[in-house]
Amino acid sequence: MNVNRMDVGIVGGGAAGLSAAVTLGRARRSVLLVDGERPRNRFAPHMHGLLSRDGMPPLELLERGRAEARGYGVEIVQGEVDRVERVDGGFLVVGAGREVVVRRLIVATGLVDELPPVPGVDALWGTGAVACPYCDGWEVRDLPLGVLATSPMSVHQGQLLRQWTADLTVFGAVEAGVSAEGLRAFAARGIRLAPPALEVAGSFGNVTVRTEEGEHRVARVFVGARPRPADALLTSLGCASTENPHMGSMVVTDPTGLTSVDGVWAIGNVADPSALVPVALGAGVRAATTINMSLVEEEVASALAASAA
């Protein structure tokens, strides 16, 4: 096959993919990273909870990460991977104007948040409407907050947010299927219930939630978005998956991110929807060191075979 050959291909250049790329680059591996540059957190102006980088815009983190990776010889290409297929010697990666055979493959394509069909949520997403209390709760502590319930799991989001404020309203809990026990638990902690949201509007710090009974003013609404892994490449390679009752089909990995297909790793939100940025960064390092060791072992075996011939 008349194509370039490299040690590792990485699909997806978010926190997990770039972390793996930097680690592998420092290990003097030849690495190709292909990224569509549409990270899940691109709507958010700031990140929080990342040691020494609290408050940094997420796109700035990625810009710095790309510069660091390139400094270690990683080749980064903007675009989409059309297909990946198994071939002799590894995997053929086709897309973004490239055809490369790589010995190991990392898929770090993240996920897509499916927002509830409430007018105005998409326009506020990442600022006035968010999902993660750990990421966005501190900035609105002790202020009036709302939860747009979307499923029985919204009971957990509501109870968690009670940690940040005593002025909390859950919209549409009954309609979302929150159990009677969950409703009693809301009442026990002073969490108010309201009809489902018909529309949200405003901006961060001043959000209006309109219901059939009137308007409610909150500083921010927390939304039970449904995350959907961007796992088409993993599916095409035959990676095993399991059904999660709340998140749908999820690829199965070991603690290092290795899938059921030898030589293919899945890291970051594509494998773990709950992984915050610090977790994704760590997953990239762990996968990269494991992959590098697997390549070393392969090279040792090849050298021994050649010396014995």
Q: What is the CATH number of the domain that holds 149?
A: 3.50.50.60
In the three-class reduction of DSSP (H, G, I as helix; E, B as strand; rest coil), residue 254 is classed as coil
Segments forming the whole domain that contains residue 217? 116-223
Domain identity same for 96 and 232: yes
Summarised one tens digit per residue, pLDDT across range 261-309 is 999 999 999 999 989 999 999 999 999 999 999 999 999 999 999 999 7
pLDDT at site 1:
45
Return the number of other C-beta atoms located less than 10 Å from residue 237's C-beta. 22
DSSP string covering 22-85? HHHHHTT--EEEEE-S--GGGG-S---S-TT-TT--HHHHHHHHHHHHHHTT-EEEES-EEEEE
Q: Does residue 160 share a domain with residue 147?
A: yes
Indicate whether 249 and 233 sit together in one domain: yes
Could you tell me the pTM of the whole model?
Answer: 0.92
Tokens 């940025």 correspond to 277
Q: Let me know whether 212 and 67 are in one domain.
A: no
Cβ atoms 230, 110 nearer than 8 A: yes
Residues 59 and 134 in one domain: no
Tell whether 89 and 238 lie within a shared domain: yes
User: Does residue 153 sit in the same domain as residue 98?
Assistant: no
Q: Point out the domain boundary residue: 193, 223, 253.
A: 223
Q: Which of 223, 256, 286 is the last residue of a domain?
A: 223
Which pair of tokens denotes residue 212?
Answer: 């059939």
| Residue 219 and residue 232 in one domain | no
Extract the tokens encoding 299.
């090279």
Cα–Cα distance for residue pair 124/131, rounded to 1 Å: 12
- Number of domains the chain is built from: 2
Same domain, 158 and 218: yes
Single out the residue of 114, 126, 124 nearest to residue 46, CA to CA: 126
CA distance 253 to 236: 16
Q: What single letter denotes the amino acid at residue 9?
A: G
Q: How far apart are CA 180 and CA 42, in angstroms?
A: 37
**Per-residue model confidence as pLDDT tens digits over 43-88:** 888 989 899 999 999 999 999 999 999 999 999 999 999 999 999 9
Q: Domain ends where: 187, 203, 223?
A: 223
Average pLDDT over residues 137-151: 96
- Asked if residue 97 and residue 125 are part of one domain, the reply reads no
| Structure tokens that stand for 291 in this block | 């992959």
Query: For the chain, what is the largest distance between any 2 Cα atoms, rounded to a whole number of angstroms?
Result: 83
Are 100 and 121 part of one and the same domain?
no
Residues 208 and 129: beta-carbon distance below 8 Å = no
Please give the C-alpha separations between residue 207 and each of 37, 104, 115, 211, 226, in angstroms, as whole numbers: 29, 47, 17, 13, 22
Contact yes or no for 31/25 (Cβ under 8 A): yes
Asked whether residue 35 falls in the same domain as residue 129, the answer is: no
**pLDDT tens track for 169-214:** 999 999 999 999 999 999 999 999 999 999 999 999 999 999 999 9
